[in-house]
Structure formats: structure tokens, C-alpha cells
Amino acid sequence: MNKVFRGFLLTLLVSGLLALAGCGGGEQVKPQPTPGGDAGGSVITHDQAVALLKNNPIYFAFDRYDLDSAARADLQAKADLLNKYTDIKVQISGHCDSRGTDEYNLALGERRARAAYDYLLMLGVKPAQLSTHSYGKMYPAVQGNTEAAWNKNRRDEFNVGY
């Protein structure tokens, strides 16, 4: 493992643990992986990889399914983990905020899941490790009709074990 990549994984691990710590109450901390960070000697274990994949959704703009730079960086980190642990299978589930209508949101959620799926394939992840699913607006991550809630609900989740 080269120095740069180890640094990147260390940063990712710290970010992920911070995010996990934040689950108990306040807003989740969204990891911002910075490839090329400080070199370190830590190695992400299988369990840590699973936790990192599960606890870091990517987010979308209203009625959009294109990947912004933050989402692409997150997916790069996930691709690294999936390429390292090829036994891990992930179901990418697309979600929407509560403002749209049910059927259109199911389609939009499918497009969001598919966007992440296609990007991960491009980064070398095996198709057999991935599947997609859309829940539309059935399962909001955050309740409420505020911009902040909507921002957190327009997302892809990465469910491990499918």
C-alpha cells in the first residue's frame, strides 16, 4: 500500500469514527476524504470498512441525481474499500425528500442509486458487489419540513450485506 493511499485511508477512518460518534444526537458529520493526507501506519479492518460504507451517505440537490464533487470523493473512498474487500456486497438505496410525489420520487431514487452504481463500476468495483434499490420518500433520515431536513433526506445509502 503506498504512502499516499495509507494517509487517505487514515483520514477516512478518522472521519468515519467522528461520524459514528455524532450519531447519538446532533447532526452527522459528513466525511470529506482528502487523499494524500499524512502518512500513517493504520490499516482499515473489514469491520471498519463495513462501518465506513454504511455510515456515510452521499447527498443530492432537489430533483437531481448528478454527483457533485463531495459525492464523487465519497464514492472514491467507498470504491477503495470495496476493491480491497471484494467479499463485501453493497445495496445502494436511493432516497428523496418529502416534497415530490411518490411515484416520481421512486424513479428519482432509482436514478440516484444508479448514478452511484455506475460511478463505482467506473472506479473498478465488481458488478457482483453492487445492487440498487429505490425507496423514494418512504424512509426519511430526518423528520421535518425544513431545508435542513430535506438536504439530509435526498441521499444514497449504502447497505452492506445484500
Partner 1 sequence: MVSYMNKDKAIRQRAVFGAGRSFSRPAGRFVLPLLAAWVLILLSFSAVFAAQPENSPQPEYVPQGAGLQPSLNQRFLAPVGPAAYQVQTVMAEPLGESLYKRELHASVEHNLSYLPFMQVVDPRAVPGGTLLGSALGEEIDFERFRISRTDNLLTARWVDEHKVEMRVYEVLEGKFIFGAGFEVPDAAAVSGVADEFCAQYMEALIGRGDFFRSMLACSKSGGPRKSDIWVVKPTGGDLRQITNIPGHAISPTWSHDGRFIVFGHIDERSHALGVWDAFTNNLQRLRFPGNTVIGPCFMPDNKVAVSLSDGRNPSIFLLDRDFKKEKTLVSSWAIDVSPSVDASGERMVYTSSRLGNPHIFMTNLKTGETVKVSNEGKYNTDPCISPDGTLVVFARQMGEGHRIFAHDLRTGQEQQISFGPGSDEQPEFAPDSYFIAFTSTRAGSKKIYLTTRHGGEAKPVNTGAGEAAFPAWGARRR
Whether the CA torsion 156, 27, 51, 30 is positive or negative: it is positive
**Per CB under 8 A, does 103 bind partner 1?**
yes
- Out of 123, 131, 142, 160, which residue is the one contacting partner 1 (CB under 8 A)? 131
All three cell numbers of 136, joined, read: 423514494
Integer Cα distance of 43 and 138 in angstroms: 37
- Out of 100, 119, 130, 154, which residue is the one contacting partner 1 (CB under 8 A)? 100
Smallest distance, Å, CB 153 to partner 1?
15
Smallest distance, Å, CB 106 to partner 1?
5
* Residue 142: C-alpha distances to residues 25, 107, 109 (Å): 12, 21, 16
- Closer to partner 1 at the Cβ: 34 or 131? 131
Instruction: Supply angle C-alpha 65, 56, 38, rounded to 5.
Output: 115
Stretch that binds partner 1, among 25-33, 41-49, 71-79, 134-142 (CB under 8 A): 134-142
